[in-house]
Structure 1
Amino acid sequence: MSFFDTTPLGRITNRFSKDVDTMDNALTDAFRMFFMTMAQIIAVFILIIAYYYYFAAALGPLFVMFLFAASYYRSSAREIKRHEAVLRSSVFSRFSEAVSGVATIRAYGLQDQFSRSVRDAIDNMNSAYYLTFSNQRWLSVRLDAIGTLLVFVTGILVVTASFSVSPSSGGLVLSYILSVVQMIQFTVRQLAEVENNMNSTERIYYYGNNLDEEAPLHTVEVRPSWPEKGEIVFDNVQMRYREGLPLVLKGLNMHVQAGERIGVVGRTGAGKSTIMSTLFRLVELSGGSITVDGLDIAKIGLKDLRSRLSIIPQDPTLFKGTVRSNLDP
């Protein structure tokens, strides 16, 4: 439960919508296009070197310039992509809040305020797109310069070797080297796209492997008739919602006899709902124990525990069935 308390709904929505779509579709397409274009570039270079051996010497300095521009672009594009993912989560969060609370927003006449809030979030996300396009223009200018040098070197080689290489072969080489300029730009962009899309894979992997999970659904065998009487004992119960936060329940001791009906009265924030949260193990105890008919609920599985207890929730949107069916299932 602490995960849902600290994680905005928009961030979760972003993970299971945009990030999943990116990993399933955009990432695989970027991989395919990168390797296909790289193979075409290598084939063109092999063709040129087969006719003009000195072209291999010119590839060294140009390759260093290419690596510099590509590495600079990739590092900046990666950070811009992360920034854009954060801003997109903000858009999802504000939109979800507006949709879920539309009745309250209309009741208080705050439509303009929430519309402005959503528009501001969209504008902030679009600013990341603008940075992406600006970064691509920066790369295009530099790769065009490198490509121009490639064409210039190839043209010099074709002219100087005009007596040893047929004009048809020289024309073939020149036609291919002109297409390589666009291929180089596309290859770098696809490489950066692969690296950027791996951010989505990283975020989904984190959700799948590094989040704290609830206790197991089943642990020890629970007798089918439990709980027979409904006797509940809170023994020095201590509970905090997350590590680092103060205790909400501080040494609570309570004994509810079988068949007894009690009411817990207190101001907002006194811990009334917290008592029910501990009984259903929505949040694990920091200390103490709770027993129901002599069985410590911390030692049984969550499904065994929650399927044997009933609750009428505060939020009516979570209320399933009639009041009678929830009171006496």
Structure 2
Amino acid sequence: MRALSAVNKYILRYKWHFLGGVLFVALSTLLAIFPAQIVRYAFDLVGEGIDLYYLYEGTQAQSGVYELFGRNVLLYGILILTMALLRGIFLFFMRQTLIVMSRLIENDQKNEIYQHYQSLPLSFYRRHSTGDLMSRISEDVGRVRMYVGPALMYFMQLVILFVLIVPLMFMVNVKLTIYTLLPLPILSVSIFYVNNLIERKSDEIQRSLASMTTFVQEAFSGIRVLKSFVREEDSHRQFSVASDNYKDKSLSLNFVNSLFFPLILFLVGLSTIVTVWIGGQEVIRGTITTGSIAEFLIYVNLLTWPVTALGWTSSLVQRAQASQARINEFLDQKTDIVSRQNLELDIKGDIVFDHVSFTYPDTGIQALRDVSFRIHPGETLAVIGNTGAGKSTVAALLSRLYDVSSGSIKVDGVDVRDLSLSSLREQIGYVPQDVFLFSDSIRNNINFGLENPTEERMLQAAKDANVYENIIRFPEGFDTKLGERGITLSGGQKQRVSIARALVKEPKILILDDALSAVDTNTENAILSALQRIMHNRTSLIISHRVSSVKLADQILVLDDGVIVQHGTHEALMQDTDGLYRALYERQLQSEEV
């Protein structure tokens, strides 16, 4: 239960729901017990009334006995119906407090986890799969909800029932009470083991379903590749295997579920038979009345579901504890990307990398080694190099998606670790290497970084990114809905929409991380021409493996295996016949000619 102590703060937050639920559980339980005693009086009254009726047979008093008997039975009936009605009302309020509380806690916990996820650094996401993150915010939170809702509710019912009913039963007859209660622990233990079996099989079904869903999602996301390689039949065979696996596990669970209720009914019936058998013997001995047997039968039925639920709730608590431990594992992880002074700065764009080295914390790969350079306000620096040279790492460190391992990065003379994260990132327009578009309209994708976007800024950004003409050709224009990850668009169109998304912010610092890799030469030249105007008097960082993309740069930085090997203008670097830059230039020139 140690892990579940993390839920206490939510219960305290909704303490009035919880206390109200306890009150309504107690009231509904009391109104379930009183009718049992009334039934006992009614049964005894029936027996006594029949005896008196025949005792006064043939006399005038017989009709008086009949009337009195009828009034009393009617009174008892009205009392039982009234209590049943009141109990129904209190049961309604019991669920409206405790179950509603569990839903509110579920909502708060999901929001807290999601907000915490967003605060964690990129290294966290590199270590954990998306499926794992999703399961903790959905399935695990759902299991915790079952603990703070149904499990607590039924456990309180059981405790109150036992505290109130068992002493009443012992007061009537000790022997009958012991025999009546004997099958109930067997029922609870049996339900516990059967429910664990059901839950285990349910988990297997969920994993099978998740595997099948992932396969289908990948198949439909990669439908172009699937069709181009004519792998439809093979894909269908794989889906059939996954589907059959899910079917077999579902049938196995259905078999266990089929045993669940017969087991309950058998043990409840056994308890009822024992009550009637032993109770009948006690009636013959004269120690109890027939009304007591009826009272005991009601008590047995009242105790049956809570005792049954005890095995179920025990399993729920176990699963909730395991789920909350998984949730706590992520909630206990804190981001190391925090601002030391939280300074707000209106950025001019003077960027200095001072002996920066960086090693990725999750892989241990050293991406940069003793990198130093400066970009003056309004200048454009191009970073070029082979794949894996550390180019994208420069962009990630400047945006402070990671922190340097050693050295420092300063913007306008202030260490980025002292700046407010939101202030820094809001003033940076970042076009990542791996373009990601949301399943939304093109309009909303371009305006993603703005709180109050204007139509003029959006249209100008689309024109500057050379994607305006493509968009207006769509039937719905800027309101065209994109498929998952922007599958509706071509690779080049996705890149240009991503560029427009960065440009519409009118950022102080513009970072293009291999943003033109998916466009043809003519489109690249058109975008570069538009960017020449945009980058005027704006600090820009162009990262590319293509020499043609760095024409507009004032300075070019050549990286190789995380180390600066060359630094200068295009003309100066071309004069170094043995340099990496010239080798890249000639190799790419030959490729274009071919």
TM-score between both structures, scaled by the size of structure 1:
0.73
> What residue in structure 2 maps to residue 248 of structure 1?
366
> What residue in structure 2 maps to residue 291 of structure 1?
410
Partner Cα separation in structure 2 for residue 169 and residue 261 of structure 1: 93
Q: Closer, same or farther in 2 for the Cα pair 1:247/1:287, shift >3 Å?
A: farther
Q: Closer, same or farther in 2 for the Cα pair 1:241/1:95, shift >3 Å?
A: farther
> What residue in structure 1 maps to residue 293 of structure 2?
170
> What residue in structure 2 maps to residue 239 of structure 1?
359
**Paired AA for residue 358 in structure 2:** Q
Q: Closer, same or farther in 2 for the Cα pair 1:233/1:182, shift >3 Å?
A: closer
Task: After superposition, give the CA deviation of every residue in 1:273-326 in whole Å (9 maximum; x if it has no partner).
Answer: 222222222233333333334332233232232223222223152773536463
Task: After superposition, give the CA deviation of every residue in 1:184-241 in whole Å (9 maximum; x if it has no partner).
Answer: 445533543454355555544444x2234352368332442x3x34333251412215
Partner Cα separation in structure 1 for residue 239 and residue 333 of structure 2: 29
Task: Tell me the secondary structure at the aligned position of residue 213 of structure 1.
Answer: coil
Q: Which moved more, 1:249-258 or 1:61-70?
A: 61-70
**Paired AA for residue 282 in structure 2:** A
1:189 aligns with 2:326: no
**Paired AA for residue 4 in structure 1:** Y
Task: After superposition, give the CA deviation of every residue in 1:38-83 in whole Å (9 maximum; x if it has no partner).
Answer: 7567766556544332134446864664564355446555655555
Q: Closer, same or farther in 2 for the Cα pair 1:138/1:316, shift >3 Å?
A: closer
Partner Cα separation in structure 1 for residue 420 and residue 213 of structure 2: 35
> What residue in structure 2 maps to residue 151 of structure 1?
272
> What residue in structure 1 maps to residue 281 of structure 2?
160
**Paired AA for residue 409 in structure 2:** I
Contact (CA 8 Å) 2:345, 2:423: kept in 1 or not?
no
> What residue in structure 2 maps to residue 5 of structure 1?
126
Partner Cα separation in structure 1 for residue 408 and residue 258 of structure 2: 63
Q: Which moved more, 1:32-41 or 1:302-311?
A: 32-41
> What residue in structure 2 maps to residue 277 of structure 1?
396
Task: Tell me the secondary structure at the aligned position of residue 2 of structure 1.
Answer: helix
**Paired AA for residue 424 in structure 2:** L
Deviation at 1:136, TM superposition (A): 5.0
**Paired AA for residue 332 in structure 2:** N
2:386 aligned residue (266, 280, 301): 266
Unaligned runs of 5+ in 2: 1-121, 439-444, 447-457, 465-499, 508-594
Task: Tell me the secondary structure at the aligned position of residue 371 of structure 2.
Answer: strand
RMSD of aligned C-alpha atoms?
Answer: 4.1
Contact (CA 8 Å) 1:74, 1:192: kept in 2 or not?
yes
Partner Cα separation in structure 2 for residue 200 and residue 115 of structure 1: 35
**Paired AA for residue 337 in structure 2:** A
Task: Tell me the secondary structure at the aligned position of residue 424 of structure 2.
Answer: helix
Aligned pairs for 1:50-65 (under 5 A) are 50-58=171-179, 62=183, 65=186
Partner Cα separation in structure 1 for residue 252 and residue 334 of structure 2: 35
Partner Cα separation in structure 2 for residue 129 and residue 252 of structure 1: 58
1:313 aligns with 2:435: no
Contact (CA 8 Å) 1:66, 1:143: kept in 2 or not?
yes
Bigger RCO of structures 1 and 2 (CA < 8 A, at least 6 apart): 1
Task: Tell me the secondary structure at the aligned position of residue 407 of structure 2.
Answer: strand
Task: Tell me the secondary structure at the aligned position of residue 383 of structure 2.
Answer: coil
Q: Which moved more, 1:254-263 or 1:21-30?
A: 21-30
Partner Cα separation in structure 2 for residue 194 and residue 126 of structure 1: 29
Q: Which has the larger radius of gyration?
A: 2
**Paired AA for residue 355 in structure 2:** D
Q: Closer, same or farther in 2 for the Cα pair 1:198/1:86, shift >3 Å?
A: farther
**Paired AA for residue 296 in structure 2:** V
Partner Cα separation in structure 1 for residue 244 and residue 333 of structure 2: 31
Contact (CA 8 Å) 1:14, 1:92: kept in 2 or not?
no
Unaligned runs of 5+ in 1: none
**Paired AA for residue 287 in structure 1:** S
Q: Closer, same or farther in 2 for the Cα pair 1:29/1:185, shift >3 Å?
A: closer
Task: Tell me the secondary structure at the aligned position of residue 437 of structure 2.
Answer: helix
Task: After superposition, give the CA deviation of every residue in 1:18-46 in whole Å (9 maximum; x if it has no partner).
Answer: 45555557962454355446756776655
Partner Cα separation in structure 1 for residue 255 and residue 162 of structure 2: 26
Task: After superposition, give the CA deviation of every residue in 1:159-206 in whole Å (9 maximum; x if it has no partner).
Answer: 321231333433453466467656644553354345435555554444
Deviation at 1:266, TM superposition (A): 0.7
Q: Closer, same or farther in 2 for the Cα pair 1:220/1:175, shift >3 Å?
A: closer
Aligned residues: 323
> What residue in structure 2 maps to residue 219 of structure 1?
341
Partner Cα separation in structure 2 for residue 104 and residue 237 of structure 1: 39
Q: Closer, same or farther in 2 for the Cα pair 1:180/1:132, shift >3 Å?
A: farther
Contact (CA 8 Å) 1:237, 1:250: kept in 2 or not?
yes
Q: Which moved more, 1:302-311 or 1:130-139?
A: 130-139
Contact (CA 8 Å) 2:352, 2:375: kept in 1 or not?
yes
